A and B are shown apart, each in its own frame.
Chain A
Amino acid sequence: MGIKDIAIKNLLRRKSKAAFILAGLVIGVATVVGVISFADTMTRDINHKLEKYGANILIVPRTNNLALTYGGMTLGGVSFEMEPIRHSQLARITTIKNAANLAAVGPITLGAVDFNGRAALLAGVDFDAAEILKPWWNRNGPAPTRNELQVGSEAAKLLGIDRGDQLVINGRTMVVSAILAPTGSQDDQLLFTTLSTAQAVLEKPDQVSMVEVAALCNACPVNEMVAQISEILPNAKVMAIQQVVKGRMETLAQFRKFSYGLSVVVVFIGGLVVLVTLMGSVRERTVEIGIFRAIGFRKGHIVRMIFIESGLISVMAGAVGYLAGIGAIWTGLRLFGSHGAVVVQLDPLLAAGAIAMALVIGLLASAYPAIMAARLDPNQALKTI
């Protein structure tokens, strides 16, 4: 038998006190694990959503014109009198080093058209790529094929266009296959058709005004892919859409700061629970500690005994707290989050960190009670009945 055995037997004897200390630490650890896991899970989920849906790289022709905006994003030198990008050049994009990170490449050919004496903006797009690049598009009919149109909601209202209408655009008869539901963006004011139809109507064969690219950049920086595309398209200007990247990062950073602050408070309270409970325990064990000191235990032996007790509980609290935190997030996301879409991952590093954190907090919180116990005067202690 050693000091460790005395510590274990004392824990087993005072199960309710041990459970109370355990609960205090478990709540603290579970909170930290929960918020870290939640932040990581949300980060992965948001990255997945943002990178899969919507463009985060823009390719425009090199121009010295003033910047215009499209969809609230800075486009650089976009105008209607620019040297276009060749459609045939775009195949090179699939040859870059990080081609596997490309979710969609969406060329757009833009041009002004005349409709019943009124000017409108016609955009030729790849509707397959648009499924990924513009997932918010909601239309009341099928995607246009050759010589068919998809009309933005505001354009349809202003021009008096309905689904099924036949329009003559630059001398070409086109049928409206669908009206786009309001998107709140410039798309509401445009007429959309297939890329080849637009190039024919606008007399811009093999010409592309801009290219939207959706890159999956959870594992690689967007800027690397921008550099790779720039290298193979020297006559184009390639940009990362910084607003999207920055906005995402700032939101997550704010959430993380709040989460960590909350976790510190909860962990501190858990530590206080350990401190107060152990101090009460030491007072209860005054005679017992007096016996130990009377028969020759040094102060260091008493301190070691208290530390072993709190250490054992702390390690257990770390493991239980980790599982409780993961379990809480898993349950919460199932109940309140995206159905089945978000996956909470078990992280061995986080588990080890949780146990280490619980151990450090438990030992720190038990330092004062341990010193208090060691300083008990055995003569006074044995007089306590």
Chain B
Amino acid sequence: MSLIVFDTVSKTYGRGASMVTALDGISFTIQSGEFVGIMGESGAGKSTLLSVMGAMNTPSNGRYLVEDMDVYALRQEQQADFRREFLGFVFQTFHLVPYLSVKENVMLPLITLKISNQLKEEMTMEALQWVGLETKANRLPNQLSGGECERVAVARAIVNNPPILLADEPTGNLDSRNSDEVMALLGRLNAGGTTVVMVTHSAACAAHAQRIITLSDGRLRHGNNALGMAAAVKAA
């Protein structure tokens, strides 16, 4: 059974003459434990694809299944629960809450869970240790470097051990050294069994992926390992 199934998913915006098709009948599957890169030129629909996968953007047509569950058949509040239980997000611009400390930012996905404060604390410190920032737990985001902020974002994404990690240009704002560090983290996560889906423009980052999905004008161009990787690197 595939972990993720995209079944002829389309997404359009607007109506009539002003209608824009962001995704046009996309179909693919992702197995559990895969590391998949999503590439394409600007406006190809990469971010839209990721937002649909993130249960934050209802498709106009088609189905999005995770573990055989039709995500968009769920009610909105159930979709929020789905995001909390199944997904971890790493955003390009980190999106850390500026007035919460590093530890508090990482703990955010656990706040609404009915578990003890001690367990929340343990899970948070474990995630921080995993990304090597346990000594900066009480710092505020504006006291960290870009690379450290992205590592905090990764820690927040994995604190509740989600089976799927969605990363939108995780190295987009980082230098090469920090990019390598973040990609190493994602690689370690994937090696541990987490399914990673990463949108990227970077060929170097895409090289970490086992498979590349290439989009162009909202349509799928390449979806399997070798062919997809080579074509995607060439396009970039």
CB under 8 Å from chain A, chain B span 97-116? 97-100, 104, 107-109, 111-112
- B91 with A296: CB separation less than 8 A: no
CB under 8 Å from chain A, chain B span 61-107? 76-77, 80-81, 83-85, 89, 91, 93, 95, 97-100, 104, 107
Most chain A CB inside 10 Å of its own CB: which residue of B56, B91, B93: B56
Most chain A CB inside 10 Å of its own CB: which residue of B85, B100, B104: B100
Q: Mark A181-197, 1 if CB is under 8 A from B, else 0.
A: 00000000000000000
- B57 with A294: CB separation less than 8 A: no
A residues in contact with B100, CB < 8 Å: 6, 9
B151 at the interface (CB under 8 A from A): no
- B112 with A298: CB separation less than 8 A: yes
- A298 with B85: CB separation less than 8 A: no
- With A and B bound together, what is the CA distance between A295 and B105 in angstroms? 11
- A294 with B104: CB separation less than 8 A: no
CB under 8 Å from chain B, chain A span 275-328? 287-288, 290-301
Taking A6-B100, A287-B95, A378-B56 as contacts, is the C-beta distance between A293 and B80 under 8 angstroms?
yes
- With A and B bound together, what is the CA distance between A108 and B89 in angstroms? 95
- With A and B bound together, what is the CA distance between A300 and B80 in angstroms? 11
- A294 with B99: CB separation less than 8 A: no
- A1 with B107: CB separation less than 8 A: yes
CB contacts between A and B, total, < 8 Å:
70
Taking A2-B111, A301-B112 as contacts, is the C-beta distance between A295 and B77 under 8 angstroms?
no
B residues in contact with A287, CB < 8 Å: 95
A339 at the interface (CB under 8 A from B): no
- A385 with B93: CB separation less than 8 A: yes
A243 at the interface (CB under 8 A from B): no
Q: What's the tally of chain A residues with a CB closer than 8 Å to chain B?
A: 28
Taking A379-B51, A379-B57 as contacts, is the C-beta distance between A296 and B99 under 8 angstroms?
no
CB of B134, distance to nearest CB on chain A (Å): 17
A242 at the interface (CB under 8 A from B): no
B residues in contact with A298, CB < 8 Å: 77, 80-81, 112
Q: What's the tally of chain B residues with a CB closer than 8 Å to chain A?
A: 28
- B57 with A296: CB separation less than 8 A: no
A residues in contact with B83, CB < 8 Å: 294-296
- A296 with B97: CB separation less than 8 A: no
- A296 with B112: CB separation less than 8 A: yes
- With A and B bound together, what is the CA distance between A301 and B76 in angstroms? 13
CB of A294, distance to nearest CB on chain B (Å): 6
B residues in contact with A300, CB < 8 Å: 77
- With A and B bound together, what is the CA distance between A288 and B98 in angstroms? 9
The majority secondary structure among interface residues of chain A is: helix
Q: Mark A1-29, 1 if CB is under 8 A from B, else 0.
A: 11101100110110000000000000000
- A13 with B99: CB separation less than 8 A: yes
Q: Who on chain B is nearest to A296 by CB?
A: B84
A382 at the interface (CB under 8 A from B): yes
- B111 with A3: CB separation less than 8 A: yes
Taking A295-B156, A297-B112 as contacts, is the C-beta distance between A1 and B81 under 8 angstroms?
no
CB of B107, distance to nearest CB on chain A (Å): 6
- B57 with A1: CB separation less than 8 A: no
- A295 with B109: CB separation less than 8 A: yes
B residues in contact with A6, CB < 8 Å: 97, 100, 111
- A291 with B97: CB separation less than 8 A: yes
B59 at the interface (CB under 8 A from A): no
A residues in contact with B76, CB < 8 Å: 299
Q: Who on chain B is nearest to A294 by CB?
A: B89
A residues in contact with B109, CB < 8 Å: 295-296
Q: Who on chain A is nearest to B107 by CB?
A: A1
Partner of A379, one of B56, B85, B97, B117: B56
B residues in contact with A2, CB < 8 Å: 111
B46 at the interface (CB under 8 A from A): no
- With A and B bound together, what is the CA distance between A294 and B51 in angstroms? 10
- B112 with A291: CB separation less than 8 A: no
CB of B220, distance to nearest CB on chain A (Å): 21
- With A and B bound together, what is the CA distance between A296 and B54 in angstroms? 11
CB under 8 Å from chain A, chain B span 19-52? 51
- With A and B bound together, what is the CA distance between A382 and B56 in angstroms? 10
CB of A297, distance to nearest CB on chain B (Å): 6
Q: Who on chain B is nearest to A379 by CB?
A: B56
B residues in contact with A299, CB < 8 Å: 76-77, 80
Most chain B CB inside 10 Å of its own CB: which residue of A9, A295, A297: A295
Known: A1-B107, A297-B111. 13 other contacts (CB 8 A): A6-B97, A6-B111, A9-B99, A9-B100, A291-B108, A293-B80, A294-B56, A296-B81, A297-B80, A297-B112, A298-B112, A382-B91, A385-B93
Give 6 A-B contacts (CB < 8 Å), ordered by A residue: A1-B111, A9-B100, A288-B97, A293-B80, A297-B84, A297-B112
Report, nearest first, the 10 A-B pairs whose CB atoms are least far apart: A296-B84, A13-B99, A379-B56, A296-B83, A295-B109, A298-B80, A379-B51, A379-B57, A378-B56, A298-B77
